[in-house]
Structure 1
Amino acid sequence: MQHIGVDGMEYILEARDLSCAYDQTTIIEHLDLAIERSSMVGILGPNGSGKTTLLRHISAALKPRSGVVLLNGVDVFAMRRRMLARKIAYVPQSTAADFEFSAMDVVMMGRIPYMKGFQSESHADMSAVKQAMDMTGTWQFRDRSITELSGGELQRVMIARALAQQPEILMLDEPTAHLDLQFQMEILDLLRQLVDHHGLTVIVVLHDINLAVQFCDKVVFMQSGSIIADGRPQDVITEQLISDVYNVAVSIWHDEATGSICIAPVRQASSETSACLKRIG
């Protein structure tokens, strides 16, 4: 379904005047966000800036205090949960592997929104699972227990489970956390291919700005529950922005090898640290 926003652009997902709170503590207030179809969007910012909170609310895992989240122009909280699960898939930050499920069993869980009652999986379910595991390179693990998989392998299985839902939007909270550089690149390259070759919309929380620059069409920088910048990486990322968001000096340059900008922190000992070291000395 095509949905045209108030600015004339086509958006698959919009958050309008969104305010979110845990108990009486406000985390996000009066936030607006628009996500274009078939794009990869990186959500960045320091710890505690509201990234995970935003993701959990726009995925409809939690209901906001006020405001609205629109999927193809329809309020997500007015949709039936089963139908919503066919549209949005969410991969959380931490994934427990405490049970002896096989990788295929885990991926098959993504087909629950399509199953009725206690019926067994259909040919369509098996086909969707096989396709999801092929896309993520996890079919080879289908009979292995998830407790035997490495961190990178397990992350790919969890993405396969989300893909088995056959969603329009895939949301992931720090999918590269605790992975070495090889697996980080593999995961993000997989997400990029899902956008480019399968038309999926991907929204991903990241900490590594350089990886976001390489893989994302759009970056969203959050600070204290607000969006302070969003747009194409090369348009919005500046040394001043990074300094303002992360309170650290950086150097930015264009890298010919990647064709994108690169960000590196500049070491600067604070006056408090220097004074402390002098006292210790």
Structure 2
Amino acid sequence: MSRVEARGLGVVLGGRAVLAGVDLRADAGEWLAVIGANGAGKSTLLRALAGLLPHSGEVLVDGTPVRGLRPRERARLLAYAPQTPALPGDMTVFDYALLGRTPYIPHLGRESRADREVTGSVLERLDLTALAGRTLGHLSGGERQRVVLARALTQRASVLLLDEPTTALDLGHQQQVLELLDRLRLADGLTVVTTLHDLSVAGQYADRMTLVADGGAAATGTPEQVLTEELIGEHFDARVRVVAGTGGRPQVHLERP
């Protein structure tokens, strides 16, 4: 298990400061949900954590700055899955998941038997073995999301950065993906950082939350501390009622004005 944190993280895109001075922490084995209104910088934050965007400040894994690491070394610590990944329609499920082993394959080399065994094991755990030979263009939305997760898991990184892992999924498939992710997190001791737009869903699964607004971290804490009617009203411009759900976790309900 690994702890990931950002200290004073800032990102400038197109001459505009999207993020400035963001502090963030996900302890070892924890699920941190990053929430915020559209355009707040949630996806930018994850991409910066993954080392995919130039940024100021520091990103650390277990106290070690990752800025000086080579991309292959960083990929062994942090696995990132974008919200809308490019999925080549003619590539098989197995070959796409195998791409997660790239940080371990020598330059100009080929994957080893061990790489293929790791990939096969991950597909089995995600109930994708029967689809291993199917091309990505012939998968349902829920199957594609599991394949994207499979590629991230084959990296064997201790920190998963997932941008909206349930985007475009219906309610049933959302629950399947989130429950699967939580089981894998607990079984493997993974540290998970996700962006989630559904506040009630985020409150059900996350251990801690960070609310991003105005380029910074407006609030950080437990779901009960962050998902308050006052904070949601201020930063989402929405009138809501927050009630205690299963296990006391907050559920957010829209209220008509």
Shorter-chain TM-score: what band? over 0.9
Which residue matches 1:253?
Answer: 243
Which residue matches 2:124?
Answer: 134
Which residue matches 2:19?
Answer: 28
Which residue matches 2:37?
Answer: 46
2:245–2:251 Cα contact (<8 Å) kept: yes
1:143 aligns with 2:137: no
Total equivalences in the alignment: 257
2:89–2:138 Cα contact (<8 Å) kept: no
2:211–2:226 Cα contact (<8 Å) kept: no
Question: How far 1:259 sits from its partner (Å)?
Answer: 4.3
Of structures 1 and 2, the larger Rg is shown by 1
Distance 2:182 2:251 in 1: 19
Distance 1:98 1:106 in 2: 9
TM-score of the superposed pair, with normalisation by structure 2: 0.96
Q: Which residues of structure 2 form unaligned runs of 5+?
A: none
- Picking from 219, 225, 241, the partner of 2:231 is 241
Between stretches 117-126 and 143-152, larger displacement belongs to: 117-126
1:219 aligns with 2:201: no
TM-score of the superposed pair, with normalisation by structure 1: 0.88
Distance 2:79 2:169 in 1: 22
1:19–1:29 Cα contact (<8 Å) kept: yes
Residue deviations 1:141-194 (CA, integer Å, cap 9, x gap): 100000000111011001101100100101111111111001111111111112
What is the letter of the counterpart of residue 229 of structure 2?
E
Distance 1:99 1:146 in 2: 5
Distance 1:237 1:248 in 2: 12
Which residue matches 1:4?
Answer: none
Identity in percent: 35
Which residue matches 2:255?
Answer: 266
Report SS of the residue matched to 2:134: coil
Report SS of the residue matched to 2:211: strand
Distance 2:35 2:136 in 1: 29
Residue deviations 1:181-214 (CA, integer Å, cap 9, x gap): 0111111111111221110011000000111111
Q: What stretches of structure 1 move > 4 A for 4+ residues in a row?
A: none
What is the letter of the counterpart of residue 7 of structure 2?
R
Q: Which residues of structure 1 form unaligned runs of 5+?
A: 2-10, 269-281
Distance 1:57 1:96 in 2: 19
1:118 aligns with 2:108: yes
2:120–2:129 Cα contact (<8 Å) kept: yes
What is the letter of the counterpart of residue 164 of structure 2?
E
Which residue matches 2:85?
Answer: 95
What is the letter of the counterpart of residue 225 of structure 1?
G
1:18 aligns with 2:6: no
- Please give the root-mean-square deviation of Cα atoms over the aligned residues, in Å: 1.4
Distance 1:160 1:196 in 2: 16
Distance 2:163 2:131 in 1: 23
Report SS of the residue matched to 1:263: strand
